[in-house]
Structure 1
Amino acid sequence: MTFLGEGWDSTAVLVDGRWVERRPRRAEIGPQLVRESVVMPWLAPMLPLPVPVPVLVSDDPVVVRHELVPGEEITSLTATQGRQLGEFLKALHAVPANQARERGVGPMPLPVDRFRTEVQVPGGDELLAKIDGLPADTLVHGDLGPEHVLGRDGVLTGVIDFGDLHVGDAAIDLAWALHATPPEFAAALAEVYGVTPALRERALVWHQLGPWHEVLHGHDTGDAETVEVGLAGVLDRLKRG
């Protein structure tokens, strides 16, 4: 058994070199892992890249297990990979949201009140005002970034970590992909996906909002360094946006 890592919500170990076993770090995460064991077997066949398909092996305590998705965290991004991810997101966002709701996937409300009180920075109120009225009609990954996109030999091999899967704004999955990747990757993805100016603009809002969650997580865990890094990210993305 090999320890793979500890995320915000769960810990993971590799069993027999093939199976990833995950356990919740907090009691409220248990139902999330159970939901993944219901939703992912239904969702996976509709997607063009491998994804985790967890099976519930224990409900008290909650433990899920899935086959290891091949590949490693990508360190360089190319147009080929951009096209692959564009096709992946296009397929994911085409999945009927009502069918996801029937399997327990709903919206994910933003902690806007906490943002206002705990992340007070110049320009912050203007960004939070842009959140009002954003659509919430698409099945989204919800936490798509370089650590959750795997590759090998110049191509993508899988997408992992669907703990934040929810019905929300399609632009949230385009935030990192359009605004924090090399131009050739972003352009290829945008062409395949069919990114509109409105989607690109909303994706920037979500990209700017990303580090705000890091600040709140630091407050919740009493980690001053995480708070400091999160605030630096908030200010940097607001300035660049």
Structure 2
Amino acid sequence: MVRSPLALAALATVAVPGLDAFDVRRPAQPGTDFDIAVVIDATRKRWVVRAPVSAAAGAALEAEVVLLEALDEQVQRGALPFSVARPAGFAHLPEGGRAAVHAEIPGTALAVEHLRPGPGLAASVGRAIAAIHELPTSIVENAGLPVYEPETYRARRQAEVDEAARTGRVPATLLRRWEERLEDVALWRFSPTVVHGDVTGERLLVHDDEVSGVLHWGDACVADPADDLAWLLVAAPPEAAESLMEAYQLRRTELLDPHLADRALLSGELALVRWLLYGVRTKNADVVEDAVSMLEDLDAHTRALDEAEPEPSLA
């Protein structure tokens, strides 16, 4: 059952004592695991209420709440150059679990395709991601979220590729490409860091040409930092991606990872595998066909790049 905006507003008034709801609106980007609404109070302050739609989402929210408390402490210390949505209150749900309410962080979703090279927003994005990767891993461990070592993480990605191969929907050339990279041990020598785990334009808020907030930490873990860079390097204009990576590298204190960008690009490709598997597991034919279409486009793109590479000289 999808909760109405009015029902969510009522939850917000219960969660935050003294909150006098004046108006309520659906967000521009509705969630899938949560019913979400923006509540405007009588003083025009804006609040976001999130109510989980399943027991799994509720459990994820509880772990995220613990993490958000630790992240907010890092914000106060100046370790994070952006805000996080620490809950201001909770309302118990009749079916179990809790809805969480937090003050809305000023900003709009990042339009990554509009990033420009130089010291502006692209550099701010790079510094924001680097700051996440500099956090102590203990804050993720203490929240009970996953922690992966490099070999375990490589095996996890290998298992996903193997499962996707069994669907018969992945081009053989892509499977060979991924197998080669997954078997390259040197590529997977990295120091695990805190990662957000789901970096997209909707997760990164922008205000005055700076990253003002990072939302939705439910997929956070200790794993490969390349995962947080994957979407950015694929979607951003190449010159802006260079500025982003330069700022990222300057912000990291100990970055000895020559294959970071290579793994980030590979992670972007393997995201299509996970989308395909999601469609298969949920029996969603539309998702499966969407994933297959993107995999075919990727296959054509990589084939064209391979054909464009000059043959090695025999001289």
C-alpha separation in 2, matches of 1:127 and 1:23: 41
TM-score after normalising by structure 2: 0.68
Is 1:224 matched up with 2:304?
A: no
Pair member with larger Rg: 2
1:65–1:239: structure 2 CA closer, same or farther, 3 Å change rule? farther
C-alpha separation in 2, matches of 1:218 and 1:107: 26
Partner of 2:272: 211
Partner of 1:107: 147
Gaps of 5+ in 2: 1-23, 149-155, 250-254, 303-315
**Would you say the 8 A contact 1:20–1:65 is kept in 2?**
yes
Which residue among 68, 84, 107 is the counterpart of 1:51?
84
1:102–1:200: structure 2 CA closer, same or farther, 3 Å change rule? same
Which residue among 8, 15, 19 is the counterpart of 2:39?
15
For residue 197 of structure 2, what is the amino acid of its counterpart?
G
Please state whether the residue corresponding to 1:65 is helix, strand or coil. strand
C-alpha separation in 1, matches of 2:288 and 2:55: 24
Partner of 2:218: 163
Residue 218 of structure 1 deviates from its aligned partner by 2.6
**Would you say the 8 A contact 1:37–1:56 is kept in 2?**
no
Partner of 1:184: 239
Please state whether the residue corresponding to 2:271 is helix, strand or coil. helix
**Would you say the 8 A contact 2:51–2:99 is kept in 1?**
yes
Is 1:78 matched up with 2:128?
A: no
**Would you say the 8 A contact 2:170–2:292 is kept in 1?**
no
**Would you say the 8 A contact 1:212–1:231 is kept in 2?**
no
Partner of 1:236: 297
**Would you say the 8 A contact 1:136–1:167 is kept in 2?**
no
Gaps of 5+ in 1: none
**Would you say the 8 A contact 1:52–1:67 is kept in 2?**
yes
Partner of 1:174: 229
Which residue among 68, 74, 97 is the counterpart of 1:40?
68
**Residues 59-138 of structure 1: pairs in structure 2 closer than 5 A:** 60-75=96-111, 76-79=114-117, 80-107=120-147, 112=160, 114-118=163-167, 119-126=169-176, 128-129=178-179, 130-131=181-182, 134=188, 135=190, 137-138=192-193
1:189–1:115: structure 2 CA closer, same or farther, 3 Å change rule? same
1:137–1:153: structure 2 CA closer, same or farther, 3 Å change rule? closer
Aligned-pair identity (%): 29
What whole-Å deviation, never above 9, does each CA across 1:197-227 have from its counterpart, x for those lacking one?
4101000110101122222333344432222
Residue range with higher mean Cα deviation, 216-225 or 67-76:
216-225
TM-score after normalising by structure 1: 0.87
Please state whether the residue corresponding to 2:259 is helix, strand or coil. helix
Residue 142 of structure 1 deviates from its aligned partner by 0.8
Calculate the aligned-residue CA RMSD, in Å: 2.5
C-alpha separation in 2, matches of 1:107 and 1:9: 23
